[in-house]
Structure 1
Amino acid sequence: NTRGGGHSEALKNYNVGRTLGIGTFGKVRIAEHKHTGHKVAIKILNRRQMRTMEMEEKAKREIKILRLFIHPHIIRLYEVIYTPTDIFVVMEYCKYGELFDCIVEKGRLQEDEARRIFQQIISGVEYCHRNMVAHRDLKPENLLLDSKYNVKLADFGLSNVMHDGHFLKTSCGSPNYAAPEVISGKLYAGPEVDVWSCGVILYALLCGTLPFDDDNIPKLFKKIKGGIYILPSHLSALARDLIPRMLVVDPMKRITIREIREHPWFQNRLPRYLAVPPPDTAQQAKMIDEDTLKEIVNLGYDKDHVCESLCNRLQNEATVAYYLLLDNRFRATSGYLGADYLQSMGRSFNQFTSSESASPSTRQYLPASNDSQGSGLRPYYPVERKWALGC
């Protein structure tokens, strides 16, 4: 029983459950994949509403981008189902919801916890940039936590599409994380905008507050454009060195993702799997996990058909089942994180185990910091290839 209001044929491979959240163009519902028994989140996007706002083609472009991505810290897109009335986007289910709610609930994180999360975020952002995609809407609301507290970059414009300079006209667009060049309406390449947003996120993780905030929007913009914020005294010396290098007003002098990776604060306790950049999407398509392949064959799928579909990046029942099994195998073995770390994270985040969500509909706000001046310079190398923009 899909309980999905007329979606039974389109979602015949899923048992659709309760609504997790409601967005601009539709809702997100939890579902169980019938063949594997694993949970997914299904975004149901209403095509009529999207056409009214001239967003359907944009959503299709973003889906095309996300289909290419295979990364442990980017939300997995399993399949997209089109009907005359709706677009069903079947995605990885993140049990513990938004990183935003974690920060609101806990306040500032211990530096080791914040670093682990930040390392995962930067790994995902770097992967996007290597594939010529700039997210442009990075914020804790768009960073989800799976059942093992791994971070997943999400919302590449699938349901929360914004136009440049229109932050105040959408419910999802927060200017608090936007770079000075964005709110000023200046031209920008893309990656340096994500670096600024990552700087704001790191500040929020370590401080439990936002560096730039004001109920008066002109005053908020003035703070952002001036780089006016305060670094709390409780931060370590290395954290106090890294954050200002990311929150440099001039994008040409802002630290790059590569330089963030090389920073001593970032390098501390860096997991082995994050020490080396992941292969590109073409290489990844040829990497097939033998144990998962055996499992998928045991479910009745043809081995040659599965391998051919995976190598050609096709979407069909076999590839959906394969990636669901692969992702859940990863989580079942504690993924990339050690057992000791997961145990400590479980203690730190145990208040979130009672609620499962992918996109909470209620919204709280992080408190603001006081004013001060931050500065830091790093050389910048320009991007020459054409970038795909996330929002």
Structure 2
Amino acid sequence: MEESRGQQAGGSILKNKKVLENYRLGKTIGKGSFSKVKIAEHILTGHEVAIKVLKRSKIEIMNMEEKVEREIRVAKMLVHPHIVRVYEVIETESEIYIVMEYLKFGELFEYISNKGSLEEDEARQYFQQIISGIEYCHKNMVVHRDLKPENLLLSSIGYLKIIDFGLSNVMREGQFLQTCCGSPNYVAPEIIAGNQYAGPEVDVWSCGVILYGLLCGRLPFYEPNLAMLYVNIKGGIYTLPKGISSGARDLIVRMLEVDPIKRITISDIRRHPWFQAHLPTCLAAPPPDMVELASKIDDEILQVVSMGFDRNQLVDSLSRLEQNEATVVYYLLVDNQFQESGGHI
């Protein structure tokens, strides 16, 4: 009996090894209800990646097929410096492997927990990046719906990326969303009330909660009792510490506006004086769309990758946002160079 189990395990390992032949799997760094995340090494480049392993059997039992399909579709279509990159998705009959950037500095949540409240300049630096990434999502008709510091990972100190699009959805012109989702402390009052919503306004609310947390080292809405928490959120009941500047105070108040019609928009956040202060040139303009970003090809890295792959095919794949062995190598080299420079190229 023991030998039989060993043979079964060995067969599974060989199968996974063949499926992930371009990667050397390492330790598990995270676990979910139907998935786990493992660190791995891309053998050809030697760079680290994170591989999210999803079990189809567990997905089916939990009736999460639609959620997983949407997460994969959205994650693959979004290409932005402040959104985690998905390099490729490998599917078998029993598993789905999502190969993505490995951001070794961990969650923004852990950073805030260890450091406490941030100085305004540092908080603004992170906030500007979040808004840039979310503006790009909205431009491409995607609403995140689960923004929180746990879903913001640091690729280096001072540089973050948005992750986890499991609760995201694609917006359609003239249609409203009504799914009640998100993390209780960050969810917008209209969602709690069960009202329909367009999409962007709920992400703005969550960004307001995050900005408050960055500046205050705690959340504006925090109650052990869930019912009381929701009462405070729906009533917009919170306090702002005296040490916060008038500019930051004004922006938070306008983002945590209970009435979604009166709530500040992403465009107005961009024009706000507090947001504009020390705004990096790379974030000053609204984000380009996916086609524009895909057309920006690094010639030096392209030349390196072309030593092992057909150059014309690679350029064509990049322009079409296709994923294959060559594009994985290209983007791994791009992202590694980006991270080594601290996010400044």
Per the alignment, residue 120 of structure 1 pairs with 129
Shift of 1:204: 0.3
C-alpha contact (below 8 Å) 2:144/2:167 kept by paired residues: no
Residue in structure 1 matched with residue 250 of structure 2 by the alignment = 241
Among residues 327, 337, 346, which one is paired with 2:335 in the alignment?
Answer: 327
> Structure 1 or 2: larger helix share?
2
Following TM superposition, by how much is the alpha carbon of 1:174 offset from its aligned partner in structure 2, in angstroms?
Answer: 2.3
Q: Distance in 1 between matches of 2:224 and 2:334?
A: 45
Residue 158 of structure 1 and its aligned partner are, at CA, apart by 7.6
Q: Which residue of 1 aligns with 2:312?
A: 304
1:69 to 70, 78, 82: 78
User: After superposition, what is the alpha-carbon deviation per residue over 1:300-321, rounded to whole angstroms, capped at 9, x for unaligned?
Assistant: 1111111111112211100111
Give, in angstroms, the shift of residue 217 of structure 1.
Answer: 0.9
Give the conservation status (yes or no) of the 8 Å contact 2:122–2:158: no
- Deviation of residue 287 (structure 1)? 2.1
Label 1:332 to 1:13 Cα distance change in 2 as closer, same or farther (>3 A): same
1:334 partner amino acid: G
* Equivalent residue, structure 2, for 1:314: 322
Indicate the residue corresponding to 2:227 in structure 1: 218
For the 8 Å contact 1:247–1:254, the answer to whether it is kept is yes
- The count of aligned residue pairs is 325
For 1:262, the aligned partner's letter is: R
Distance 1:321 1:211 in 2: 43
Partner of 1:170: none
Indicate yes or no: 2:281 matched with 1:266.
Answer: no
What do the CA deviations read for 1:315-369 (whole angstroms, capped 9, x no partner)?
11001111111111222233238xxxxxxxxxxxxxxxxxxxxxxxxxxxxxxxx
Q: Establish whether residue 198 from structure 1 lines up as the match of residue 212 from structure 2.
A: no
SS of residue paired to 1:16:
strand
Matched, 1:43 2:52: yes
Change (3 A) 1:240 1:180: same
Cα distance, 1:283 vs structure 2: 2.0
TM-score computed with the length of structure 1 as normaliser: 0.80
Q: Any conservation in 1 of the 2:70–2:166 contact (CA below 8 Å)?
A: no
Q: Distance in 1 between matches of 2:167 and 2:103?
A: 16
Cα distance in 2 for partners of 1:189, 1:69 equals 20
- Aligned-residue CA RMSD (Å): 1.7
Give the residue type in structure 2 aligned to 1:79.
E
Q: Which has the higher contact order (CA 8 A, sep 6+)?
A: 1
Identical counterparts, % of pairs: 58
Aligned counterparts of 1:66 and 1:97: Cα–Cα separation in 2: 19
1:229 is the counterpart of 2:244? no
Select which of 175, 183, 187 maps to 1:174.
183
Query: 2:166 pairs with 153, 157, 172, which one?
Result: 157
Partner of 1:385: none
Q: For 1:112 and 1:286, how far apart are their aligned partners in 2?
A: 33
One of 129, 133, 138 as aligned partner of 2:142: 133
1:23 matched to which residue of 2?
32
Tell me how far 1:268 sits from its aligned partner: 0.5
Partner of 1:336: 344
Q: Contact (CA 8 Å) 1:273, 1:336: kept in 2 or not? A: no
Shift of 1:148: 4.8
- Tell me what 1:92 maps to: 101
Q: Structure 1 CA distance, aligned partners of 2:257 and 2:316?
A: 47
Aligned equivalent of 2:175: none
**Distance in 2 separating the partners of 1:295 and 1:142:** 33
SS at match of 2:17: coil
Q: Note closer, same or farther for the CA distance 1:158–1:33 as it changes in structure 2 (3 Å cut).
A: farther
1:106 is aligned, of 101, 106, 115, to: 115
Q: Does 1:254 align with 2:243?
A: no
SS of alignment partner, residue 18 of structure 2: coil
Give me the TM-score of the superposition, normalised by structure 2: 0.91
Deviates more, 1:203-212 or 1:287-296: 287-296
The answer for unaligned runs of 5 or more in structure 2 is 1-9, 169-177
Is there any run of 5+ residues in structure 1 with no aligned partner, and where?
A: 168-172, 338-391
Distance 1:130 1:330 in 2: 24
Distance across 1 between alignment mates of 2:30 and 2:285: 36
Any conservation in 1 of the 2:90–2:96 contact (CA below 8 Å)? yes
The residue identity in structure 2 corresponding to 1:263 is H
User: Would you say the 8 A contact 2:236–2:258 is kept in 1?
Assistant: yes
Contact 1:27 1:45 in 2 (8 A): yes
